[in-house]
Amino acid sequence: MESCRVISPREPAFLRTTTVGSYPVPDWLVALPSEQALDDAMRVVLSLQRDAGIDLPTDGELYRFDINHPDTNGMIDFFIRPLAGVQSAVGWTDWNAFCSAPHMGFRRKPAGVVTGPVGEGSLNLVAHAERWVRLAGPAVKFTVTSPYMLARTLLDRHYGNKEALLLALADVLANQVRQLPCDCLQVDEANITGCPEDAPLAAAAINRVLDAFPREKAVHLCFGNYGGQTIQKGTWKALLGFLNALRTDHLVLELAHRPEADRQALAEIDARIGLGIGVIDVKVNTVETPEVVAARIDDAAKRYGAGRLRYVHPDCGFWMLKRSVADRKIEALVKGRNLYLGR
């Protein structure tokens, strides 16, 4: 008769490991890029996550990397450049207008200028997700940048209304994510953390995307990760209304790099929303030990209740780290989760 593992009293119904999205682009893919090389690189990213024991892997976002945006890995421009109604070639007048906006200190030029109604153009998220699922199977996560974050990098010469632009971008994304073949969709947002006054608009736009996806939904939030630096000044407490307004199954939250005083506020997140907690700091090269990871999980379980925890993961993507560091952090994540569960 097959034996059954006894579940510890402190063990949640499930506590899965996942990654947030990006992975360092292999040097050989940069040197000799091709469709076949991209497939090979994605197989490497998948294999290292599965070998480490990651439950819900991501594709590494290797096809989104842009050498012209090494501080942000090109995640914005990947979505903006193909859109209809958006001009990516920017002249001095538009560049200067964008730079003069008080909230644009984190980016020197716009990702594009909105000159007409926003449409999907040549954006094809479904094709990228199908490539990922073909290599990995459907039990994976696919990431999409939030419409609010995208809108913040655009100079609007058409709508003249923040809400109209936001919802137009949300509609483009929603139309594509409803066709994704993966088990989990993650919407990434790293700008609202510094602009809590925009929370109602951002939540409405993000929810429009989430509502279109028929399976597990997640929202990743952090305080910026530009070249490994935090760029948004804010607190989780200021965002509680925003977080509780999201129609998501779970959150994917930066926590390892956050100050102690900012952590307890997350106890006030609506109980219908599962918590994903960052236990790996991607803004430092030091590799956490399994004991450190287990202690961070234990601290979160005591603060929020073990039953609230659904995922443990890095604070953000790994794109700016060396592969050797990222790989060891992934291993530490799984070993620390297992240590906490007594496996």
Q: How far apart are CA 342 and CA 336, in angstroms?
A: 10
192-234: per-residue pLDDT in tens? 987 889 999 999 999 999 999 999 999 999 986 665 565 667 7
pLDDT tier, 132 (very low <50, low <70, confident <90, very high otherwise): very high
Evaluate whether the domain defined by 16-72+123-341 bears CATH number 3.40.50.180.
no
Query: How is the chain split into domains, by residue range?
Result: 16-72+123-341
SS3 265: helix
Question: Is 70 exceeded by the pLDDT of residue 315?
Answer: yes
Place of tokens 């799984």: 334
pLDDT value at residue 3: 32
H helices present in 104-198, as ranges: 125-136, 147-152, 162-177
Q: What is the rounded average pLDDT for all residues in the chain?
A: 90
Distance separating alpha carbons of residues 283 and 317, to the nearest angstrom: 10
DSSP element (H, E) containing 124: none
pLDDT at 289: 98
First CA to last CA across the chain, in angstroms?
21
